[in-house]
Amino acid sequence: MNHQATPPAPLPVVMQSPLGARMRINGRDVDYFCGTSYFCLHGHPRVIEAACAATRQFGMGPGTLAQMQVYVALQDELQAWFGAEHVVSLISGYSSPMAMLQGLRDDFDVILIDAATHYSARDAIPTLDRPVHSFRHLDAGSLAEELDRYVKPGKRPVVVTDGVFPSSGALAPLADYRQAMVPYEGAILAVDDSHGVGVLGSSGRGALQHFGLEADGNYLAGTLSKAFGALGGIIPGSQSLADKIAANAMIMRGASPVPPAAAAAAIASLRVLKETPAMRANLVRNVSHVRAGLRKLGFVLADTPVPIVSVRGDVDFEQLRLQLDAKDIVVKVTKASGYSDAPDVPTMRLAVFSEHSPEQIDRLLSSMAELL
């Protein structure tokens, strides 16, 4: 009887340094093109020191409803960043779309959701007690058709979508969605913008700012755990929105806030970004560099400022990943349909950071050219 040898399981990726463009993994120093730390703030010395200082002062967490100054300071920084009257903060970015939609639930009657919207928003839907219908991914024409089919006279729709889709890096056509919503009085646009805040828009306020849609009726939920190098969910908006969330979203009553260390880390991250505009400029430059270089290799890519670059084609991406790894370049391959918005073919997902040097990007591109 023939016994086929079982291939060895891949080694787990063991990180041995803070996230960064150059970091230590499995005992090797590597160029890192994965993840979501778009400004590498998770490992910034000021951010780490702020977290340590807050832990020494306040401990690991409140444990009571007593106020701590670090949360007040975070609110001030977030209000300034987003130009908002109030920014709701909560324990995780995953829970922020749920809190946003629960807060708004008395303002809509029917839900239209992009078919590839992230799990965080999908998990919120059953808690809203409203009819829900999906439309084709990134397709404003499909949204218009579904609105016409399901929104009866006098009913108010909410359109739910990611701003930036996390696996593909696709930028939702929010302006086109808004145009499709024009005939429906009171229509709401609700965006999970976890990958957009900090990155998109003239001052980093996210996808709504990028499309010029910062106006009543358009809302976003985001996270501090990606571009902002910390932890926790955020929902910028008016005091009225904050009051609705406090009244309708039980997570605001039943869950602890982020640890003081995470709040202090976010404050430091926001200040570093504000004081160092070159970081955002470098990210724009690096995204353009990567996208242009991949096009020269024959890949078809959208021209957007999104730092998630999804590469697809007639390539054995898993073999390419292993060959790049042998050159100390770490990339991620997403399986077919392996994430909320992943296409039905394998893709290579590259994350571009502001701190990648031009030389690192050139090495990635030249290595790919050599191996393809």
Q: Which residue has the tokens 């995470």?
A: 262
CA nearest 355: which of 306, 284, 282? 282
pLDDT at 67: 81
Annotate 276-320 with DSSP letters as a single string: -HHHHHHHHHHHHHHHHHHHHTT------S-SEEEE-SSS-HHHH
Q: What is the rounded average pLDDT for all residues in the chain?
A: 94
pTM of the model: 0.93
Helix ranges (H only) for the chain are: 45-58, 69-82, 96-104, 119-124, 140-150, 174-181, 207-210, 239-248, 251-254, 260-275, 277-296, 317-326, 358-371
Write down the residue that tokens 């996208």 correspond to. 291
Domains of the chain listed by start with CATH number: 22-33+276-371 (3.90.1150.10), 45-275 (3.40.640.10)
- How is residue 58 written in tokens? 């306040």
Indicate the SS3 state at residue 111: strand
Mean pLDDT, to the nearest integer, of 347-362?
A: 97
List residues bridging with 134 in a β-sheet.
113
How long a stretch of residues is the chain?
A: 372
pLDDT band of residue 65 (cuts 50, 70, 90) is: low
Q: Are 91 and 71 in contact (CB under 8 A)?
A: no
DSSP state of 17: S
Mean pLDDT of 14-33: 94
Mean pLDDT of 339-343: 87
In the predicted model, is pLDDT for residue 8 greater than 70? Answer: no
CB within 8 Å of 76: residues ≥ 6 apart: none
CA separation for the pair 213, 211 (Å, rounded): 5
- Bridge-based pairing of strands 28-32 and 347-351 is unpaired
What value does the mean pLDDT take over residues 52-64? Answer: 89
How are the residues of the chain apportioned to helix, strand and coil, as percentages rounded to the nearest 5?
40, 15, 45
In this predicted structure, which of 103-112, 214-223, 342-351 has the lowest mean pLDDT? 342-351
- Main-chain dihedrals φ then ψ at residue 236, nearest 5 degrees: -75, 150
Strands 233-237 and 86-90: antiparallel
